[in-house]
Amino acid sequence: LFQEIVEKLIQVDIAENALKNAIESEIPTVRVVADEEFLPFKEDTFDLVVSSLSLHWVNDLPKAFREIHQVLKPDGVFIGAMFGGDTLYELRCSLQLAELEREGGFSPHVSPFTAVADLGHLLSRAGFNTLTVDTDEIQVNYPGLFEVMEDLQGKYILCMGESNCSWNRKPLLHRETMLAAAAIYQEMYGNSDGSVPATFQIYYMIGWKYHESQAKPAQRGSATVSFGDLAKIEGLLKRGKK
């Protein structure tokens, strides 16, 4: 974001401390403590809404998308990134297997995530069109399970603060269960150098609020070229070169 193209920036977060720690910018900035599900802005206010890795904390994701759509101007765009369903699958599986073995049952210790198959549908239901949804996976190596959990709880440099936010989660894990989980993690996913991987799946999404000036799909049956002809393109190009 550059001062030459952004007239005013509104930063919103439900956590007041997160706003206090935001990086200073030359762009005129207003910071607002608010819930994504109840945005305190008028309809048709913003040209652009950006969300980076926070939507997995939202209780009602469909409502948050509707709120974002409402505050956008016509032809405004929403660009977002959020953690996906395969995030931390190594940690989740190791903890579940250890709890089943040592305690006869398991409780989730990582916040739930949305499946990519649902994301486009949720955005469409909220009113967005010309949708683009993409996925990426980032793998980070750690010395072991305990370092992964310390990092997620915000005690290390990254300060992600990504522990489980469910109100009915199990409050603690027994020491024996944790040691068993660490051993399972190392055995099932460990690298040859002794480290263990932690996978973060990220969904990237772009959606536009409708405006009559936007490009529209051609009428059904108006195509002049068949998809069946795509297989012939390479041959036609070779003939053209000759």
Q: What is the mean pLDDT of the chain?
A: 84
In sequence order, what DSSP letters do the residues of 188-223 get, joined into one string?
Answer: HH--TTS-EEEEEEEEEEEEE---TTS--PPPTT--
Residue 202, amino acid: I
Separation between Cα atoms, residue 196 and residue 182, nearest integer Å: 10
For residue 160, what are the CA distances in angstroms to 44, 81, 156, 175, 235?
Answer: 32, 15, 9, 24, 52
pLDDT at residue 107 tops 80: no
Where is pLDDT greater, at 117 or 50? 50
pTM: 0.76
pLDDT at residue 135 tops 90: yes
Predicted confidence at residue 128, as pLDDT, reads 95
In sequence order, what DSSP letters do the residues of 104-168 get, joined into one string?
Answer: SS----S---B-HHHHHHHHHHTT-EEEEEEEEEEEEEESSHHHHHHHHTT-STT----S---TT
Average pLDDT over residues 227-232: 75
pLDDT tens string 151-206: 887 633 333 444 444 444 555 667 888 899 999 999 999 999 999 999 999 999 99
The residues spanned by each domain of the chain are 34-221
Predicted confidence at residue 15, as pLDDT, reads 86
Residue bearing tokens 């599900």: 37
- Count other Cβ atoms within 10 Å, centred on residue 110: 20
Average pLDDT over residues 86-111: 79
Q: What is the CATH number of domain 34-221?
A: 3.40.50.150
pLDDT at residue 242 tops 80: no
Please state the separation of Cα 93 from the chain's center in Å: 20
Which of left, alpha, beta for 111 (phi over 0: left; psi -120 to 50: alpha)?
beta
pLDDT at residue 16 tops 60: yes
Torsion angle in degrees (nearest 10) through CA of 71, 77, 81, 85: 80
pLDDT at residue 111 tops 70: no
Residue 59, amino acid: N
Predicted confidence at residue 156, as pLDDT, reads 33
pLDDT tens string 66-93: 999 999 999 999 999 999 888 999 998 9
